[in-house]
Amino acid sequence: MSGKPIIQAFFDEPTNTISYLVTDPATRVAAVIDPVLDYDHNGGIVDTRSVEAIMQAAEKGGSRIEWVLETHAHADHLSGAPYIKARTGAKVGIGEHIKTVQTIFRPIFDAKDLRTDGSDFDRLFKDGERFRIGELEVEVLYTPGHTPADVSYKVEDAVFVGDTLFMPDYGTARADFPGGDAHKLYRSIKRLMSLPPATRLFMCHDYKAPGRDHYAWETTVEAERKHNVHVHDGVSEADFVAARGKRDAGLSAPRLLLPSIQVNIRAGKFPPREANRLHYLLVPVKPKSGGAIL
């Protein structure tokens, strides 16, 4: 045991995403969790300023990035994992059920190049699997519901929950994406809430709950159990599923849904270049009423 991890958070306001640099204080080995690739959707331009900031922080602290850990294939931002891997040699890991997500979305995007065996990633984690960041022990917790492939990473006393939970005053993640399941989401949350009360929980997103004037991303199991507005102690599975379904029905699709999914199911890589050396992202078009498109 080398003690608590050193955790540095990096907030990307355009996507309301929090990425983390997690460092073992004994060996200075580090992991990056859920890194963001900056993407201008209107211009089709990518930038690496967010991942550069993380790598600069690692260099300043004398840390060696050996892992990039994805909690799931995100639908609201593009992953910066390939850039970090190219610069540091880090391995990119994700839960083994990414294969299900790839199978769901391959035909939607006619992604003939995409393998659905997860082999675009360096490591596919199973539920309960343990590995190390330096001397820090990491346990993988399978927490599906938001998508079929979500995992949380328990690093000593800290858990990085991805999109499964939000801050207590904001609630929980949506469960209406293909393969999502509010019943599974409830059970995943209860699994997280069964951890010791003082366990620290780190969110992947924050949107400022009504009445809160600042962003926040760290809480505890105890705080979630007492105060989560969607799933505090005493909320039944049936009541949660009904409320989650009603809320999801009124949500719009994330702005970066289509580009994000295409990139992130490929471990952050874009579809292959065309002859003009440009990458292209597809936009599936279908009529709202089922009729012909003029």
273-288 burial, b at 16+ Cβ within 10 Å, e below that, comes to eeeeeeeebeeeeeee
Tell me the pLDDT tens digit for each residue of 255-277: 999 999 999 999 999 999 999 99
What is the pTM assigned to this prediction? Answer: 0.95
How confident is the model at residue 112, as a pLDDT? 93
Helices (H), the chain: 49-60, 81-88, 98-108, 182-193, 221-227, 237-249, 257-264
Quick one: pLDDT at residue 1?
A: 45
The CA-to-CA distance between both ends of the chain, in Å, stands at 64
In this structure, are strands 45-47 and 123-125 parallel, antiparallel, or unpaired? unpaired
Which helix (H) or strand (E) covers residue 148, if one does? none
Domains and CATH numbers, the chain: 6-264 (3.60.15.10)
pLDDT of residue 289: 73
Amino acid code (one letter) for 71: T
Query: Which residues of the chain fall below pLDDT 50?
Result: 1
Residue 258 CA neighbour count, 13 Å, CB half: 13
How far, in whole angstroms, is CA 159 from its chain's centroid?
13
**What are the φ/ψ torsions at residue 60 (nearest 5 degrees)?**
-60, -35
For the stretch 93-114, pLDDT in tens is 999 999 999 999 999 999 999 9
Angstrom distance (rounded) from CA 100 to CA 177 = 13
Let me know: does 48 contact 81? Beta carbons within 8 Å.
Answer: no
Distance between CA 217 and CA 206 in Å, rounded?
6
Main-chain dihedrals φ then ψ at residue 62, nearest 5 degrees: 70, 25
